[in-house]
């Protein structure tokens, strides 16, 4: 079993534990905050940043306690982040839907639910808790699931960040005519990072698609390299939560 398979197994178990009747979830959905469009903010004169609220990871273990995710999100927003990413996976990343709801109420920019979306229920759940964007990991989905989930997210008003790591996954992603594609330099099956993925795949994405470089970015020089390959945005978590000064770190990554 790969690392990705193991994570998904845990996600399904946790989902089964917390699942409530759809009618009850729809009540919460009816009272969810209005969707904030994420697309416009991910293009600009400077590199855009999806800044992540991230306590832990399977590859690095504990990163930061983050006792107040709302306050951290406010700092990200004040430093110029375009989107706040919130980990909601519980076992490996120590996140929660409560974090998502807290962050949504603390900021006025779009919020991404960062999780392993493998069940239709999770999309209603994401919107009910305030998500404006969801993550769809091509490596975790069949072509049929990818298309269905993308359409479902769109119908609920949410944007989708389509994440790929290989040329084959990028080809699969392009079949659904996505608006945002993320190149993850981390292989989720092994957790190894290879930033050559940026050089290989970012230039292959059409210019009308928002291109995001994900994972392994901690220095301005790495941001500049991703930009040269065509990145419109970066997704950063570890470098921010470990820095001790997320505002300054985020601004440095943007070149300010």
| Distinct helix (H) and strand (E) counts, the chain | 11, 10
Tell me if 216 sits within 8 A of 185, measured CB to CB. yes
The residue from 56, 64, 82, 184 that is catalytic is 184
pLDDT for 160 beyond 90: yes
Active site residue 54: yes
Q: What percent of the chain has pLDDT over 90?
A: 95
How far is residue 90's CA from residue 116's CA, in Å, rounded to a whole number? Answer: 11
The residue from 89, 214, 227, 238 that is catalytic is 214
Tokens encoding 3:
């690392």
The residue from 54, 85, 90, 125 that is catalytic is 54
Average pLDDT, the chain: 96
Contacts made by residues 185-188, CB under 8 angstroms, sequence distance 24+: 185/213, 185/214, 185/215, 185/216, 186/59, 186/214, 186/215, 186/216, 188/2, 188/3, 188/4, 188/7, 188/137, 188/139, 188/140
- State the sign of the Cα–Cα–Cα–Cα dihedral 134, 138, 144, 145: negative
Helix (H) or strand (E) holding 26: helix 22-30
pLDDT for 178 beyond 90: yes
Helix (H) or strand (E) holding 224: helix 220-228
Active site residue 196: no
Of 14-18, 22-26, 34-38, 66-70, which range is least confident?
22-26
Q: Mean of the pLDDT values across residues 48-70?
A: 95
The residue from 114, 125, 185, 238 that is catalytic is 114
How far is residue 160's CA from residue 129's CA, in Å, rounded to a whole number? Answer: 16
Active site residue 52: yes
Domain ranges of the chain: 3-254
> Can you give the pLDDT at residue 211?
98
pLDDT for 134 beyond 90: yes
The residue from 101, 125, 163, 222 that is catalytic is 163
Tell me if 69 sits within 8 A of 103, measured CB to CB. yes
> Can you give the pLDDT at residue 227?
97
Q: Mean of the pLDDT values across residues 202-228?
A: 96
Active site residue 60: no
pLDDT for 195 beyond 90: no
Q: Which of 250, 255, 256 is nearest to 83 (CA)?
A: 250
> Can you give the pLDDT at residue 1?
82
The residue from 215, 222, 227, 238 that is catalytic is 215
Active site residue 187: no
The greatest distance separating any two alpha carbons of the chain, rounded to the nearest whole angstrom, comes to 49
Active site residue 214: yes
Q: Which of 148, 154, 152, 109 is nearest to 130 (CA)?
A: 109
Q: Which of 137, 72, 148 is nearest to 111 (CA)?
A: 72
pTM: 0.96
Q: Which fold has domain 3-254?
A: TIM Barrel (3.20.20)
How far is residue 208's CA from residue 150's CA, in Å, rounded to a whole number? Answer: 18
Active site residue 192: no
pLDDT, tens digit, 9 for 90 and up, residues 32-56? 999 999 998 998 889 999 999 999 9
Q: pLDDT band at residue 8, thresholds of 50, 70 and 90?
A: very high
Residue 203's alpha-carbon distances to 87, 110, 167, 227, in angstroms, are 28, 26, 11, 10
The residue from 52, 90, 101, 222 that is catalytic is 52
Rg, the chain, Cα only = 17
* Residue in this structure with the two tokens 């406010």, named with its chain if needed: 74
């Amino acid at each position: 079993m790969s690392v990705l398979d193991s994570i998904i197994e845990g996600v399904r178990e946790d989902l089964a534990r917390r699942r409530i009747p759809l009618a009850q979830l729809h009540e919460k959905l009816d009272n969810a905050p209005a969707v904030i469009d994420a697309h416009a903010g991910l293009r600009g004169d400077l590199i855009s940043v999806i800044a992540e609220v991230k306590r832990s990871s399977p590859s690095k273990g504990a990163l930061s306690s983050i006792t107040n995710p709302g306050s951290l999100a406010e700092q990200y927003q004040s430093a110029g982040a375009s989107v706040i990413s919130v980990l909601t996976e519980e076992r490996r990343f120590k996140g929660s839907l409560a974090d998502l709801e807290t962050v949504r109420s603390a900021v006025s920019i779009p919020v991404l639910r960062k999780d392993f979306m493998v069940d239709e229920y999770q999309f209603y759940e994401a919107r009910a808790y305030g998500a404006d964007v969801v993550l769809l990991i091509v490596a975790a989905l069949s072509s049929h699931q990818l298309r269905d989930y993308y359409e479902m997210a769109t119908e609920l008003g949410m944007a989708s960040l389509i994440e790929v790591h290989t040329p084959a996954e990028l080809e699969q992603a392009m079949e659904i005519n996505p608006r945002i594609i993320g190149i993850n330099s981390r292989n989720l099956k092994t957790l190894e990072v290879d930033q050559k993925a940026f050089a290989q795949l970012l230039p292959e994405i059409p210019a009308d698609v928002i291109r995001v470089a994900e994972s392994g970015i901690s220095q301005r020089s790495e941001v500049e390299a991703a930009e040269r390959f065509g990145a419109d945005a970066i997704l950063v978590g570890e470098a921010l939560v470990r820095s001790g000064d997320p505002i300054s770190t985020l601004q440095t990554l943007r070149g300010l």
